[in-house]
Structure 1
Amino acid sequence: MESTKNTQNTKSAGSTGGTKSARRLLVAAGGGGDAITAAMVHAALHGADTPALVLTYAWERLVVDPVPGPRRTTDFHGTESVAPDLALVTPATRPAAPAGSLLPRLSGELRPRLGLLDPYGGALGLTRQIAAAARWCRADRIDLVDVGGDIVARGDEPTLRSPLGDALAVAACAGTGLPVRVHVAGPGLDNEVPPPALLPRLGEPAFTLDAAHTEPVNGVFDWHPSEAGALLVAAARGVRGVCGTRDAPRPVHLDARAAGVHRLTLDRVLALSPLARALAGTRGLEEAEEASRAVCGFSEIERERRRAAALPAAPPAPLPDRDPIRVGARFAAWEHATLADGIAYVTTRRITEELGLSAGEARGLFAALDDRRTGPLWRLGPAAGDRGRDGGVGGGR
């Protein structure tokens, strides 16, 4: 893969705010969804305008980044090297082809600054990066944030899909020796650890997110594919009901618990996570993968490699936009079948991918469905006052 180390834009700490004022330090346990969640948790804990740095992986779905696994720091042009072992992502940062990343765009929309976690040095390498960030922020503690709860997975859950990044973050934070608070927001929203198994591990919520805490992420879900993050925002804004996502086979129930944030000690998380304990002291990502195979029976990076190998050598040519009436009729039929499954809300990603919409078709359909929008989700079926009428989009009007 092309190295871009010599093309990075290096700036002094003072030119980016540096150490002149302290910043809160948050670590997003997984990918982009956890970074978005960290911004909301930060707003709840400290106030959205309090200076903060969120450290996060550049580890995204193949539809965004066709290269399996997480990205290295050297996979980006234009990061800001504000201190040894600390690179910041900015709106001007660009992934080096063929890699892709949504982090530069996300950095322009979230109020906290974004720093890159590069896991290719294993837990020990991540520990150096997090410790460097703590020094740069003048932070005396770390808030580690996860949406859904796979951070406390035991490794044998049949629905577990992506435990490695979370467990590496736990092991790395433990290695810093700094006080760490672990926050699990939206228990079960990632559909990885079933709620009956998950909730006893978490205890009672420490606090609940509300609509005001979601204000810092307004607009993000117009383009970002994180479904767990979108569900959390919807729950915080008071949406209640059964929601269907693209990323998991089971529907998610948005209830009063869905906006809760549970606070655990680092020792408690380490006790619950055999994988985090096994990753302590790892010096490389391959070694971390071996630990995941030993504990969980799989490596999610290996799964990504297999999926990437099955993709066509060249992306398919964009399909021409279909007639809006045909798109509306297809949506109406799909909506009828989805409602029959007991689902009341769906994510943007589910509609787009299950209907195979082009970008133009998606824009047209969502414009027609504007009165169905509920936070970052879409309500299926007519509104309460419209029930009994023919309210399908393009379905007989």
Structure 2
Amino acid sequence: MTRLIVAAGGGGDAVAAAMLHAAQYGDEDQAVILTYAWDRLLVDPVPGPRSAHDFTGLETVTRSVRSVPATARPIAPAGSTLPRLASELPQTFALLDPQHGVEGVTNQLEELIAHLTPESIDLLDVGGDILARGDEPTLKSPLADALTLAACCRVDAPVRLLVAGPGLDGELSADDLRSLLGPVVHTFTAEDVAPISSVLEWHPSEATGMLAATARGVRGICEVRDAGLPVPLTEASPQLHEVDLDKALSHNALARAIMVTTTLDEVEAHSREICGFSEIVYERNKATWLKDQPPVALDTEAVLRQLAQFESEAHARGVTHTTFRHLTEVLNLNGSQRSDLRQLLLSSHPEQYATPLWRIPDAT
């Protein structure tokens, strides 16, 4: 049997989809994970999502759907985590292309469903921003989730909407989401994390990283993103909820507005109107700013000194953990240095590694 899992926001949602597949369906069923190639500026210096034209070596699945094998490569200067995911995980990763708006994504879904005749179709979002109204002041990245939600509501097939780790993306809090969530269908455990453990060693997703950490028992307050948002890690964090698809659509104003869009520009325009911003514009502006920043060498002594100061201040704020993405930003390093920073810290303070998070030590 084949399972189709749509990773609502791309990036870390694709990794979580692999964990969902192993936890819910086991090794006997095959899975196709349909996902955006949208890894943000830490991995991909080009703003916005990638399309099939940004890769070499893709494989044809249907007229408009391409899979990303381990041998595929993004065309420079673009970057993507998908080929490496394909090399390390057993699932098939297929490329969601938003360039033709909801109409295009709907066509991709319909073609893939007709081709695969899947036993089940799941739409997975880590964190829950797929349930946003659109006007929440903490909302940062509604576009991709709204687009996949709208497309899934248009296909003539049963789709199960799942939200993992309510509040873990640092956009909507678990309290904000509680009234919208349906029943808990699973609580992830350390055993469920095992199939993606190698990926967690290098993948930059913060939300899926926190989901995995809480499944392993980590609790506390994790500081994330460039803004240093505090995200609670609680007993509810590793839970997987089913949500009524129609209820989600009725709540998500952006998803309703873009139902008949045929271009990504149209989707962006609706995002600016309803949410007050476009995350792609934010990425464009940040990419321009990053280009103007002089390269900073990773000076071991300076990094460890700055780290100690950050940890002292974070502990005073009640923070217990952070991500390597946030540490990279705090220490004024660029995304390409995240792996080097991680290796430095693991070699100097291995006891603080709460895979894949970094534990803030108690004040001394």
Structure 1: how far apart are the matches of 2:41 and 2:303?
26
Using a 3 Å threshold, how does the CA distance of structure 1 residues 107 and 73 change in structure 2: closer, same or farther?
same
Q: Does residue 118 of structure 2 align to residue 139 of structure 1?
A: yes
193, 208, 220: which is aligned to 1:214? Answer: 193
Q: Does 1:364 align with 2:344?
A: yes
Q: Which residue of 2 aligns with 1:354?
A: 330
Q: TM-score, normalised by structure 2?
A: 0.93
Q: Which amino acid is 1:66 matched to?
A: P
Deviation at 1:327, TM superposition (A): 3.6
- What do you get for the CA RMSD once the two structures are aligned? 1.9
Unpaired runs of 5+ residues, structure 2, are none
- Distance in 2 (CA, whole Å) between partners of 1:309 and 1:327 is 25
Structure 2 counterpart SS, 1:184: strand
1:338 pairs, out of 314, 318, 333, with: 314
Contact 1:191/1:248 (<8 A) preserved: no
What SS does structure 1 have at the residue aligned with 2:61?
Answer: strand
Question: Does residue 85 of structure 1 match 2:85?
Answer: no
The code of the aligned residue for 2:360 comes to: L
Once the two structures are TM-superposed, the CA of residue 170 in structure 1 deviates from its matched residue by: 0.9
Cα offset, 1:247, TM superposition: 4.5
CA distance in 2, matches of 1:38, 1:260: 14
State whether residues 242 and 251 of structure 1, in contact with CA within 8 Å, keep that contact through their aligned partners in structure 2: yes
Runs of 4+ in 1 over 6 A off after TM superposition: none
What letter is aligned with 2:75? A
Please tell me whether residue 117 in structure 1 is matched to residue 93 in structure 2. Answer: no
CA contact (8 A) 2:2 2:119 kept: no
Written as runs of structure 1 = structure 2, the 5 A alignment for 1:12-23 is 22-23=1-2
Tell me, yes or no, if the aligned pair for 1:327 and 1:365 is still in contact at 8 Å.
no
Q: Deviations over 1:230-264 (max 9, x none)?
A: 00001111111111113453311111100111101
Partner amino acid for 2:247? R
In the alignment, is the contact (CA less than 8 A) between 2:47 and 2:287 conserved in 1?
A: yes
Structure 2 distance, partners of 1:273, 1:261, is 20
Conserved? CA contact 1:48–1:111, under 8 Å: no
Quote the Cα distance in structure 2 between the aligned partners of 1:82 and 1:135. Answer: 11
- Percent same amino acid among aligned pairs? 46
Q: Per-residue displacement from partner, 1:75-131 (whole Å, max 9, x unpaired)?
A: 111111122111001111111122111111122222211000000111111011112
Q: TM-score, normalised by structure 1?
A: 0.86
Change in 2 beyond 3 A, CA 1:329/1:304: closer
Specify every segment of 5 or more residues in structure 1 that has no aligned partner in the other structure, as ranges: 1-21, 391-397
Q: What one-letter code is carried by the residue in structure 1 that aligns with 2:255?
A: A
Alpha-carbon offset, residue 352 of structure 1: 2.9
Q: Distance in 1 between matches of 2:180 and 2:312?
A: 38
Aligned residue for 1:311, secondary structure, equals helix
8 Å Cα contact 1:140-1:178 kept in structure 2: no
Q: What is the SS of the residue equivalent to 2:282? A: helix
Contact 1:24–1:139 under 8 Å retained in 2: yes
Shift of 1:191: 0.9
1:32-64 C-alpha deviation (Å, 9 max, x unpaired): 111111111222221145210000001121232
Deviation at 1:361, TM superposition (A): 4.8
Aligned to 1:39: 18
Match for 1:69 among 40, 48, 54? 48
Equivalent AA in structure 2 for residue 374 of structure 1: A
Give the CA deviation at 1:318.
Answer: 5.6
Distance 2:308 2:175 in 1: 34
User: For residues 248-295 of structure 1, what are the alpha-carbon distances to aligned partners after superposition, in whole Å with 9 as ceiling and x for unaligned?
Assistant: 533111111001111012112111111111111111111111222222
Change (3 A) 1:297 1:369: same
> SS of the counterpart of 2:93?
strand
Aligned residue pair count: 360
For 1:249, give the aligned amino acid: G
Q: Identify the residue that residue 175 of structure 2 maps to in structure 1.
A: 196
Question: Residues 353 and 248 (structure 1 numbering): CA distance in 2 closer, same or farther, change over 3 Å?
Answer: closer
Deviation, 1:149, is 0.3
Contact kept? 1:187, 1:258, Cα under 8 Å: yes
Partner of 1:286: 265
Q: Is residue 375 of structure 1 aligned with residue 355 of structure 2?
A: yes
- Shift of the 85–361 alpha-carbon distance from structure 1 to 2, 3 Å rule, reads closer
Tell me which structure has the larger Cα radius of gyration: 1
- Residues 329/290 of structure 1: CA separation in 2 closer, same or farther (3 Å cut): closer
2:224 match: 245
For residue 11 of structure 1, what is the aligned residue in structure 2? none
Matches of 2:224 and 2:295 in 1, distance apart?
A: 26
